[in-house]
A and B are shown apart, each in its own frame.
Chain A
Amino acid sequence: MARYVVDVMPKPEILDPQGKAVLGALPRLGFQDVTDVRQGKRFELELDGEASPERLEEVRKMAETLLSNPVIEDFEVHVADHPAPVEESAHEPTPAEEPAPTEEPIADADESTADREPVQE
């Protein structure tokens, strides 16, 4: 299993209203000297097999086809520095954090891992 990263950014000449909103909020929180903020997206994709130039090229195609819109966005792809995380089952919980011996809550906990986007319907 190898992990690939696609970074998508609005093209420099395209207005970025979300970045502007963040730029406006920072001074109000006491962070001074910020002159510009651009907001983009980061995708992490896991593919079977070892990382290879061929797979990276495939990820590039995904980025071109779906993950970015070349009219308004630029993207970069690379193989993640760190490998895909080990399965949750490999983690040996301490007695204090041992979950209740029912199946349901464990499944829920697995669903809400920290590296997922907190987007809810």
Chain B
Amino acid sequence: MKVGVVTFPGSLDDVDAARAVRAGGHEAVALWHGDADLRGVDAVILPGGFSYGDYLRCGAISRFAPVMTEVIVAAGRGMPVLGICNGFQILCESHLLPGALIRNDHRKFVCRDQRIRVENNRTAWTSAYAEGAEITIPLKNGEGGFVADQATLDMLEGEGRVVFRYLDDNPNGSLHDIAGITNAVGNVVGLMPHPEHAIESLCGPGTDGLGFFSGLAAVS
């Protein structure tokens, strides 16, 4: 598959994400925030970083970048979209995913290897994992607290749309220990931890993140 990785002003992890795409056996295509053009890709990754300096709110300005208009249309047609960290924040601001990410409850930036459980392996990005699989990938954020109103939380839980849950300590005050969620169809996934930093044993906590990319498949 051709997998586009969007670079916004202030993106940090676009190069790692493209590398992870290639490690997963796909072709990585660089996409630019200012171009309303997805260059014929089959899937899109919104990488981590501090797009637009996190001004206003994390992801709030990126959400209106020309490329996002195309991403929102393509996501509506079922194209797989993965938002990692800042990318997750952009997906929430775009209303492709419900809820929002707010400042960590303890007010400190967190950077650590984080154990999470894969609660839903029926999304475009999690089919390589067994349901209930426990994996360890890096987490690094200052504003990763997932919040939503009770009705939204009940819906996410009831429909099995909580895709990842934090294990051990909740690192940022996320409600229901939510680390990542998906949309109703399962093609759009957002999470705060970084699978693209855990694709080879040389660096990072291991290779637990590789399955995101090697298992990428269209949702039937």
B147 within 8 A of A: yes
Is B105's CB under 8 angstroms from A121's CB?
A: no
Q: Which residues of B contact A (CB under 8 A)?
A: 53, 55-57, 60-61, 64, 92-93, 98-100, 102-107, 145, 147-149, 173
**A residues within 8 A CB of B147?**
14-15, 71-72
**B residues within 8 A CB of A21?**
107
Is A71's CB under 8 angstroms from B92's CB?
A: yes
Give bound CA distance, A40 to B121, whole Å. Answer: 39
With A15-B102, A17-B105, A20-B107 in contact, do A69 and B93 touch (Cβ < 8 Å)?
A: yes
Interface size on A, residues (CB 8 A): 15
Give bound CA distance, A13 to B175, whole Å. Answer: 12
B109 nearest CB across to chain A (Å): 12
Give bound CA distance, A18 to B103, whole Å. Answer: 8
Give bound CA distance, A121 to B53, whole Å. Answer: 8
Q: Which residues of A contact B (CB under 8 A)?
A: 10, 13-15, 17-18, 20-21, 66-67, 69, 71-72, 119, 121
B57 nearest CB across to chain A (Å): 6
Further pairs besides A66-B64, A69-B60, A69-B100: 4, Cβ < 8 Å: A14-B102, A71-B98, A72-B102, A121-B53
Chain A residue nearest in CB terms to B98:
A71
**A residues within 8 A CB of B99?**
71
Is B107's CB under 8 angstroms from A69's CB?
A: no
Is A15's CB under 8 angstroms from B173's CB?
A: yes
**B residues within 8 A CB of A67?**
56
Chain B residue nearest in CB terms to A65:
B64
Give bound CA distance, A13 to B151, whole Å. Answer: 14
**B residues within 8 A CB of A13?**
149
A31 nearest CB across to chain B (Å): 20
Give bound CA distance, A20 to B102, whole Å. Answer: 14
Q: Of A15, A69, A71, which one neighbours B105 at CB under 8 angstroms?
A: A15
B171 nearest CB across to chain A (Å): 14
Give bound CA distance, A72 to B146, whole Å. Answer: 11
Give bound CA distance, A72 to B152, whole Å. Answer: 13
Give bound CA distance, A10 to B57, whole Å. Answer: 12
